[in-house]
Amino acid sequence: ARSISLDRFKGCLVGGVAGDCLGAPFEGDQTVSSTVLNSYLEHMDEAAQKRNQPYKPYTDDTAMTFALCKSLLKNEGLNLIDLAGQYAHEFLSDPRRGYGSGAQHVLAAIATEKLYESTDESAVLEPARQQFGGQGSYGNGAAMRVSPVALLHAKDPIELMITTAHRQSLITHSNGLAVLGAVIQAAAVRIALQTEEGKEIDPKRFVNELRNVIIKVDHVDASHREIYLEKLNLVLRFLGKTAIDEEEFCEQLGNDISAPGSVPTAVYAFLKALKPSQDFEVGSGILRTILTAIEFGGDTDTIASMAASIAGAYYGRADIGEDVLKHCEGVQLAEQYAEGFFARLTQQ
Ligand code: F2R
Ligand code: MG
Ligand code: MG
Ligand code: MG
């Protein structure tokens, strides 16, 4: 059976957009009940008629994902200086997409100091290095945008994907926790994408593959690797439970804007939603993943977006219907970028 297909490339980017758009209205909420979420879905048409906007807008997650798509396709791979310029340009042309405060500061510095005109890569990385007293940001901003890297390197050795996921992070996030989060998210998309069509995913094997990736990441602290290895143990532990204490879940696995507090949670949501749910009787696996991710509250746009990028790479674009997608801004552009990555791959 085929695994890598245009439908699954589209599923990845469209899933990411849908998770962002559908999750954004709940960002910062505590937990969201399944009753509220089912009603949210049921009344989407009605609610859209009342709003001025024809759709739910995407946020910084998608804005940065699109900037990354654009730069990777234009340069046929990673060009850090061009990418920094794309991120900064996207931010300045549409700053009110809900960027993190650190990210805003870095992108404004890249723009005002015109670092994208530099020929020196290290100059472009300097604002991110200086963040948070020199520690760098451990926010999830490098992970939330990374899925196109898995598409770019779908047929390359995983080491290349790891390097690109790592390096694209450094423009805004120099902390190893943010870098590892981005690498794990990209790897999760890759594993989903490469799973044969119709083949079931075994959560233990999936998590094991992620463990093997973590071990391969260079230039990060061993203590940061340990944090993620422990989080992946928690993912399996929570998947094994029949009832989940939400407070315990949020405290241990997390639902916040830090990379370690959200990337493993996105992986959990994808793996959890592989099975039908009594809470959400939806036919789409991508949609079930999004609802599962939003339920825990917190950084809902980002966790849903990351989880749904993984889910979309597994189920494919055809899994999620127009009745939901018509409410999401940016779906067509996501499809165009997916076509760009797919065409590039088939020309190789
Ligand atoms: N910014 C948000 N949500 C906040 C509320 C938005 C609201 N809906 C609105 O409309 O105003 N969402 C977006 O930000 C997250 C991605 O953030 P990113 O790109 O990682 O940004 P940043 O600023 O680098 O990090 C986020 C925050 O984490 C804390 N932090 C990070 N590193 C730290 C360190 N070394 N020491 C201390 N704190 C650190 C800071 O508070 C950062 O501001 C996504 O959720 C996206 O949707
Ligand atoms: Mg996204
Ligand atoms: Mg956002
Ligand atoms: Mg967010």
* pLDDT given at position 96: 96
**Rg, C-alpha atoms of the chain:** 18
**Dist. CA 130–CA 83, nearest whole Å:** 19
Mean of pLDDT values over 188-206: 95
- Ligand 1 atom 19 nearest Cα: 141
pLDDT at 278 over 70: yes
CA of 222 to the centre of ligand 3 (A): 29
Residue-wise pLDDT tens digits, 310-342: 999 999 999 999 999 999 999 999 999 999 999
Q: How far is the CA of 141 from the centre of ligand 3 (A)?
A: 9
Residue 348 has pLDDT above 90, yes or no: no
Answer whether 141 contacts ligand 1 (Cβ < 6 A): yes
Pick from 227, 257, 263 the residue to mutate for probing ligand 1's pocket: most ligand atoms within 8 Å of its CB.
257
What mean pLDDT is predicted for residues 167-182? 98
**What residue owns the CA closest to ligand 1's atom 33?**
137
- Residues 299-312 have a mean pLDDT of 98
Reply yes or no on whether the pLDDT at 103 is more than 50: yes
Whether the CB of 139 sits within 6 Å of ligand 1: yes
* Per-residue model confidence as pLDDT tens digits over 226-244: 999 999 999 999 999 999 9
Residues 20-34: pLDDT tens digits? 999 999 999 999 999
* Cβ burial, residue 101 (10 Å; 0-12/13-18/19+): exposed
Query: Taking all residues of the chain, what is their mean pLDDT, rounded to a whole number?
Result: 96
pTM for this model (two decimals): 0.97
State mean pLDDT over 177-182: 98
Cβ proximity of 168 and 131 under 8 Å = no
CA-based angle 305:255:86, to the nearest 5?
40
25 close to ligand 1 (CB < 6 Angstrom): no
HEC profile of the chain: CCCCCHHHHHHHHHHHHHHHHHHHHHCCCCCCCHHHHHHHHHCHHHHHHHCCCCCECCCHHHHHHHHHHHHHHHCCCCCHHHHHHHHHHHHHHCCCCCCCHHHHHHHHHHHHCCHHHCCCHHHHHHHHHHCHHHCCCCECCCCCCCHHHHHHCCCCCHHHHHHHHHHHHCCCCCCHHHHHHHHHHHHHHHHHHHCCCCCCCCHHHHHHHHHHHHHHCCCCCHHHHHHHHHHHHHHHHHHCCCCCCHHHHHHHCCCCCECCCCHHHHHHHHHHCCCCCCCCCCCCHHHHHHHHHHCCCCCHHHHHHHHHHHHHHHHCHHHCCHHHHCCECCHHHHHHHHHHHHHHHHHC
pLDDT at 216 over 80: yes
How many Å lie between the centroid of ligand 3 and the Cα of residue 218?
Answer: 28
The closest alpha carbon to 85, from 58, 59, 57, 123, belongs to 123
* 330 within ligand 1 shell (Cβ under 6 A): no
Residue 340 near ligand 1, beta carbon < 6 Å? no
C-alpha triplet 21, 22, 28: angle, nearest 5°: 95
pLDDT greater than 50 at residue 167: yes
Ligand 1 within 6 A of CB of 305: no
Instruction: Give mean pLDDT, residues 124-128.
Output: 98
State whether the beta carbon of 265 lies less than 6 angstroms from ligand 1.
Answer: no
Q: How far is the CA of 338 from the centre of ligand 3 (A)?
A: 21
Residue 50: its pLDDT value, please? 87
CA distance 27 to 301: 6
- Burial of 314 from C-beta contacts in 10 A (0-12 / 13-18 / 19+): buried
pLDDT range class, residue 47, cuts 50, 70, 90: confident
**1 pLDDT more than 50:** no
CA 124 / ligand 4 centre spacing (Å): 24
pLDDT for residue 19: 98
With a 6 Å cutoff on the Cβ, whether 33 touches ligand 1 is no
- Nearest atom, ligand 1, residue 258 CA: 28
Higher per-residue pLDDT: 288 or 4? 288
- Complex ipTM tops 0.90: yes
**Ligand 1 contacts CB of residue 223 (under 6 A):** no
Rounded distance, CA 159 to CA 89, Å?
A: 29
- Compute CA distances 314 → 132, 194, 341, whole Å: 37, 8, 17
Instruction: For residue 263, report the distance from its CA to the centre of ligand 3, in Å.
Output: 14
Residue nearest to atom 32 of ligand 1 (CA): 137
Check pLDDT > 70 for residue 97: yes
Positive or negative: CA dihedral 341, 286, 302, 177:
negative
Angle CA 164–216–15, to nearest 5: 50
CB 59 within 8 A of CB 24: yes
Residue 60 CB less than 6 A away from ligand 1: yes
Q: Is 39 in the pocket of ligand 1 (CB under 6 A)?
A: no
Q: Which residue among 137, 138, 306 has the greatest number of ligand 1 atoms within 8 angstroms of its CB, and so is best to mutate? A: 137
- 175 CB less than 6 Å from ligand 1? yes
Q: How many CB atoms lie within 10 A of CB 219?
A: 8
Q: How far is CA 105 from the centre of its chain?
A: 21
Q: Verify whether ligand 1 is closer than 6 Å to residue 135 (CB atom).
A: yes
pLDDT of residue 2: 61
Residue 22 near residue 324 (C-beta atoms within 8 A): yes
Cα–Cα distance, 267 to 325 (Å, whole number):
22
Residue 197's pLDDT is what?
Answer: 85
